[in-house]
Structure 1
Amino acid sequence: MAGSLQDQLLKAGFSDEKKAKKIKKEKKKQEKQQRKSKDNVIDETKLQVQQSRQQKLERDRQLNEERKAEADKKAIAAQVKQLIEVNRISRHGAELDYNFTDNKKIKKMLVDSTMLEQLSRGRLAIVSLHDKYELVPAAVAEKIQQRLPERVIVSNEVIESDVDEDDPYADYQIPDDLMW
């Protein structure tokens, strides 16, 4: 059993020399092609590794951008929450109903008469915080509007009282918030 399997098959008569030479020739041809294509295989693997690295870097960059955007969103929400909590106006002792709309639903808030006047003149605004509604000054509402516009529920335009000196009806105030 010192010879190769091919030699043993030849001696046993299962194969002839033509087939043996043909097989040897094909084997040498394959080995030669493998040596030539080895460089191509190495280049292809390097290329695949490089592409996978680039794809991983791109995915990592995209994930970092998403995380940064999420962190920015949370920071803005925290700023708005702090603005509302620090600047909210206490409604303790309020007895008048002020109706307003939020997402096509009519909501009600208790205010006093000065708050009602300031709301109608645009000096106060209504903002939402944790499914509650708070009153804040108009300047604070503008800051909130810049950061999270969906939090500002009611912000009327500021009305400056333009009293004409020649107006014969200046002594007669017309209420803009009649209670029916």
Structure 2
Amino acid sequence: MVKNALQAQLLKAGLVDNKKAKKLSKQAVHEKRTGESKEAEIKAKIEQDKLEKQAKDLAIEQAKKAQLQEKELNATIVQMINQHKIRNTDGEISYQFIDENKIKKIYINQQIYNALVAGSLVIAKENDGYAILPKALADRINSKMEGFILVNNSQSNDTATTDEEDPYAAYVIPDDLMW
């Protein structure tokens, strides 16, 4: 009852006995049956891995697109600042403001100083320096991306509220003190 020629030859040579031959044939049949189900599992696993890879690639692509869009927006804003900044602002009056938790100082003329204090002009961060811009442009820039406008005195004037119980409420402290 040997199923293939190799088993018959092994039996004749005395290398295996009848019991061992039956066991090997049963094992081969079992492997053949379970091998087919393993193929289906392997195919399903490959398909699942392929879907996961596609999802991962899509997420990476979307992240790259978002980074590229942010870079483009950043470049557009820098270009807007460069085109619309007010030139000829040099003067002998110093104006101090905070940038990244450090006090910075720029020297401007009296007209620009008055407009900054009044809130009609703002200070924006430009590449490695600072630019003075009209408030309307600053509002457009802030609507697109935060972080470029450093000084906007029109906002601080709007949000300044006094407490009714404050004994010094009648004494207004000006923002533009010159020392």
Q: In the TM superposition, what is the alpha-carbon distance from 1:39 to its structure 2 partner?
A: 2.2
Query: Structure 2: how far apart are the matches of 1:176 and 1:92?
Result: 20
Contact 1:145 / 1:152 at 8 angstroms: preserved in 2? yes
Which of 37, 40, 48 does residue 37 from structure 2 map onto? 40
**Greater mean deviation of Cα atoms: 33-42 or 131-140:** 33-42
Q: In the TM superposition, what is the alpha-carbon distance from 1:66 to its structure 2 partner?
A: 1.0
Give the TM-score normalised by structure 1. Answer: 0.79
Query: Structure 1: how far apart are the matches of 2:33 and 2:113?
Result: 89
Contact 1:122 / 1:155 at 8 angstroms: preserved in 2? yes
**Greater mean deviation of Cα atoms: 123-132 or 95-104:** 95-104
Partner of 1:148: 145
Letter in 1 for 2:87: S
Partner of 1:52: 49
Task: Structure 2: give runs of 5+ residues left out of the alignment.
Answer: 1-5, 159-173
Task: Structure 1: give runs of 5+ residues left out of the alignment.
Answer: 11-18, 161-174
| Correspondence 1:65 to 2:70 | no
Contact 1:89 / 1:135 at 8 angstroms: preserved in 2? yes
Task: Give the fraction of aligned pairs with identical amino acids, expressed as a percent.
Answer: 28
Query: Structure 1: how far apart are the matches of 2:88 and 2:96?
Result: 15
Q: In the TM superposition, what is the alpha-carbon distance from 1:118 to its structure 2 partner?
A: 0.6
Contact 2:78 / 2:127 at 8 angstroms: preserved in 1? no
What RMSD over aligned residues (CA atoms) do the two structures have, in Å?
2.4
How many correspondences in the alignment?
158
Give the TM-score normalised by structure 2. Answer: 0.79
Q: Which is greater in Rg?
A: 1
Q: Which aligned pairs between 1:86-125 and structure 2 lie closer than 5 A?
A: 86-125=83-122
Query: Structure 1: how far apart are the matches of 2:25 and 2:106?
Result: 92
Contact 1:91 / 1:110 at 8 angstroms: preserved in 2? no
